[in-house]
Structure 1
Amino acid sequence: MMKKSVKKVMLPVMAAAMAVSFGTLVSAEDETISLTVWGAEEDQTLLKELTDNFQAAYPDQTFDIQIGVESESTAKDTVLTDVEAAADVYAFADDQITDLIKAGALLKLDDYAEVLQMAGKTLDDVKDANVEGSIDAATIDGGLYAFPRAADNGYFLYYDASVLSEEDVASWSSLLEAADAAGKKVGMTLASGWYNASFFYGAGFTTALNDDGTTAIDWNGTSADGYTGVDVVKGMLAISGSPAFMAIADGDISNQLASGNLVACVSGTWDAMTAQEVFGDGYAATKLPTFTVGDQEVQQGSVAGYKYIGVNGYSENSGWAVLLADYLSNEEAQQKFFDERESGPSNKNVGASDAIKENIALSALAQQSEYAQAQKVGGKYWDPSQTFGELIAQGTLAADDDAAIQEALDNLVEGVTASVE
């Protein structure tokens, strides 16, 4: 059954049924508020703690809050399969926001300013509390569509400093050579447009989101820095063709770390605890290495991004869902996410702490941020870029076949720039 329209039904009901009493929002009706929350598997325990605390903050209201597993990286795909059946509140990465808004899967928070005010907060409070980039990335046509929860949605290099030196990890060639000598592997996900774009961005290539939802991409040409896409691919093939390189499926870095096969890997803060456990006293992290493009060493780029808590546009209890999403992303929640998950905060106060500055993973993320950029792409970008990455990972392309490489790049660009249906 289709859920009721949020704006037309739920907001007036909540405004009439709820009142502020000593800073506590209470319901005038004897009813159970049912909400579903989706978050990453590794965050389930923390989400349970936070939702319990949320319920305790409203002792006069009865809740039924169910928590489900859904990675921020795949949230869009699952939500868009059936938006009406998706969670009321869910975590997602910033690159998904455009498609989620188009599908009606995210509420415009500006329309719920009164609900936030009932809890003693304004939308400006949310904006002021978080770093500017996290607000900008969630603001479309002047409206804010999600609560920032983290500013750590980027990647860098973890490595075992008991095996590898700082000189070893400076370039891909020296890194792979040292790993091979140690009988170990260096892992990275290539079959993902989020990761493989790092090589092209480093060489000065671009992607952009057009007003009509299509993606602009120039990887099959020559970058502003004078490098050709063919030469970038050759640099990637030199890496993937090394016996010390392991192409890892998206989301499987943690498992490969735990296997003990890796001496280094490209990942983000979500794998910090696993890397620390595996590498022990050798646990270290730094910016990504340089790689060879033509006869030059080029610093590998990366994607800088954010994680959000959004509210489904089809939520039957949208007002309460907004309050819960705000609670799961507020300063106290972000502090807990850092303390328990080493998640990098978007909240300015949490980010200013000495503990954040001294954190190995977040320090590496900060080093890489100089070479990172926001990735604005449309929905047509992902499948072709994944297919392209698989060609690199599987060694399907030969480094000495310029024509085949150019054809693969042309096919990539054609697929990515296709019109939005």
Structure 2
Amino acid sequence: MRKRGLALLLMAMVGTTLLGCSKKAETTKDNNVTSNETISSTENVEPTSVKLSVWGPSEDQDPQYGEWLNTMCNKFNEEHPEWDIAFTYGVCTESDAKKLVPQDIDAAADVFLFSSTGLENLCQANSLSQLGGKYLDSINENYPKVLVDGLMYEDGGVYGIPMTTNTFFMYYDKSVFSEEDVKSLEAMLQKGKVAIPLTDGFYSSAFYLGAGCTFFGEDGRDRNAGINLGGDNAVAVTDYLVDLVSNPNMVVATPADAIAMMREGNVNAYLCGTWQAEQTKEILGDNFGVAALPSFNLNGTDTQMSPFGSSKAIGVKSTTKYPEVAIELAMYLGGYEGQKLHYETRNYVPCYNDLLKDANIQADIVVKADAYTIANIAVPRSNFTEMSYFWTPAESFGTELRDGVITHDNAKAKTEAFNVSANSSGIQ
């Protein structure tokens, strides 16, 4: 396969570079600072001309948002006098990359941003470079395991560098709930109204995952295991949710509807990710609270809700003419300084371990809740395309829960039917 051959070529190139340019210093752990020795040893050497194309969302190239992508690429060029890089930029969102890159790999960018949930589409088209050697060591050392797992394909290779997270947690009104209250869903429902989007499988799955159900195995990479929403644990969760929707303090609402209800004073807490943080803070002011998902009491046992965790990532195309430069740039964009500037310009929650220890970032309660979730309770969201089978049955199942169609009497049959539908494309 092209990606495997490139991985071997890259390892060979790295070895040649280190042997042939022994005075060239290694970059620091965050891949952002080049030593004075490097500069002095190359200042009399004609730099190698390199042409790199880079794709990212328009906001990352917009002066209004600090031109994060252009700024970081220019800094990378300045810090590498051994290369004279001419950059060209294109607009492509992380979610669109899985469709656009495979259409014409040679015409695609050398370095591009993508969603880890689209990894299989990119790998099936042999359009991503597998990362190995010192790069893989750095990824394993500097990023949360759940995100690295989400960028690992079923062949065991890692194909991207995490840039930011995609998970969810809870926003709450501190005038209604204490820090102790928000650890337990039952405790919260005694004091105020909690909105949960049960008609969206992205959120409702946290109950089933917490009870031990799995999506393509424990790590999301066992295709043959499929989606496992069967057995007594899953039925127990469905029974729990039947009672939950009958609680007058439980509101089934999307995050967009929930924040509108919070503005009106009709909801005191809701589940969502980072994308509604600023709006919620504006509503709650000094009472703005953020916490990891609570536990729920399942048949007398406190059970931690477990959300999916995935990432937006940076990848290198398999046919790039400059693999070493392209991978170094990708590591740089996803490294300490790259994520720091992304946080400062666009409020992208960082996931680089050392950056998360920064005092200013630790003071951000949204980042703190997100980082805790990713490090402690999130489950890798599988990048298999079969995950797409789950969302429509989950929506139907959640709607039936909300509307009272699912009861204790039919919970087992309904859960088993849900499990079958979640593992089927619907095409006979």
Given that residues 166 and 309 in structure 2 are in contact (C-alpha distance below 8 angstroms), is that contact kept between their aligned partners in structure 1? Answer: yes
CA distance in 2, matches of 1:332, 1:282: 32
TM-aligned CA deviation for residue 33 of structure 1: 4.3
Q: TM-score normalised to the size of structure 2?
A: 0.71
Find the counterpart in structure 2 of residue 285 from structure 1: 290
2:89 aligns to what SS in structure 1?
strand
Partner of 1:265: 270
Amino acid at match of 2:207: F
Instruction: Provide the residue aligned with 1:197 in structure 2.
Output: 205
- Residues 133-153 of structure 1 deviation map (CA, whole Å, 9 limit, x = unaligned): 544543444533111223x43
Contact 2:131–2:159, Cα closer than 8 Å, also in 1: yes
Equivalent residue, structure 2, for 1:53: 72
Q: 1:159 aligns with which of 164, 172, 175?
A: 172
- Find 1:382's aligned residue among 379, 385, 388: 388
Instruction: Give the CA deviation at 1:202.
Output: 1.7
Q: Deviations over 1:184-210 (max 9, x none)?
A: xx4444344432221012222233348
Residues 139 and 179 of structure 1: CA distance in aligned 2, closer, same or farther (over 3 Å): same
Letter in 1 for 2:125: A
How far apart, in 2, do the equivalents of 1:42 and 1:265 lie? Answer: 32
1:332 aligned partner: 337
CA distance in 1, matches of 2:413, 2:378: 28
User: What secondary structure is seen at the aligned counterpart in 2 of 1:308?
Assistant: strand
Deviations 1:254-280 (A, max 9, x none): 975896665322123343333323321
Q: Please give the alpha-carbon distance, in whole angstroms, between the structure 2 residues aligned to 1:47 and 1:107.
A: 29
Letter in 2 for 1:402: D
Residues 257, 278 of structure 1: 8 Å contact kept: no
- Closer, same or farther: CA 63–176 of 1 in aligned 2, 3 Å: same
Distance 1:272 1:338 in 2: 14
Aligned partners of 2:76 and 2:329 also within 8 Å = no
- Cα distance change of structure 1 residues 56 and 308 upon mapping to structure 2, 3 Å threshold: closer
State how far apart, in whole Å, the 1-side matches of 2:139 and 2:403 are: 48
Q: In the alignment, which residue of structure 2 is the partner of 1:361?
A: 366
Conserved 8 A contact 1:99-1:379 = yes
Cα distance in 1, alignment partners of residues 377 and 85 from structure 2:
48
Q: How many aligned residue pairs are there?
A: 385
For 1:103, the equivalent position in structure 2 comes to: 125
Alpha-carbon shift at residue 315 of structure 1 (Å)? 5.9
Aligned to 1:398: 405
Per-residue deviation at 1:39?
A: 7.7
- In the alignment, structure 1 residue 36 sits paired with structure 2 residue 55: yes
> Does residue 144 of structure 1 match 2:158?
yes
Cα contact 1:83–1:314 (8 A) shared by 2: no
The verdict on how the C-alpha distance between 1:349 and 1:294 changes in structure 2, with shifts beyond 3 A counting, is: closer
SS at 2:172's partner residue? strand
SS of 1:204's equivalent in the other structure is coil
SS of the residue aligned with 2:232?
A: coil
Do the aligned residues in 1 keep the contact of 2:208 with 2:237 (CA within 8 Å)?
yes
Q: For 1:242 and 1:321, how far apart are their aligned partners in 2?
A: 54
2:61 and 2:67 in contact (8 A); partners too: no
Task: Specify every segment of 5 or more residues in structure 2 that has no aligned partner in the other structure, as ranges.
Answer: 25-37, 79-83
Contact 2:316 2:327 in 1 (8 A): yes
1:64 alignment partner AA: T
1:329, distance to aligned residue in structure 2 (A): 0.5
Give the conservation status (yes or no) of the 8 Å contact 1:206–1:218: yes
Deviation at 1:157, TM superposition (A): 1.1
CA contact (8 A) 2:72 2:333 kept: no
User: Which position in structure 1 is the counterpart of 2:378?
Assistant: 372
- Partner residue in 2 for 1:226: none
Q: Secondary structure, in 3 states, of the residue corresponding to 1:109?
A: coil
Matched-pair contact (CA < 8 Å) for 1:193–1:381: no
Inter-partner Cα distance in structure 1 for 2:99 and 2:59: 13
SS in 1 for 2:209: helix
Post-superposition CA distance 1:129-172 (Å, at most 9, x none): 4345544543444533111223x433221112133334553443
The 1:242–1:43 alpha-carbon spacing in structure 2 relative to 1, beyond 3 Å, is farther
Q: Unaligned stretches of 5+ in structure 1?
A: 1-5, 114-120, 181-185, 224-228
Q: Is the 8 A contact 2:162 2:313 kept in 1?
A: yes
Contact preservation (8 Å) 1:240, 1:392: no
Change (3 A) 1:43 1:231: farther
* Overall identity of the aligned pairs, in %: 23
Q: Which deviations, in whole Å up to 9, do the C-alpha atoms of 1:66-100 show, x marking residues without a partner?
A: 23444xxx457645884647665443444443443
1:222 counterpart residue number: 232
**Which residue does the alignment assign to 1:63?**
87
Root-mean-square deviation (CA, aligned residues, Å) is: 4.4
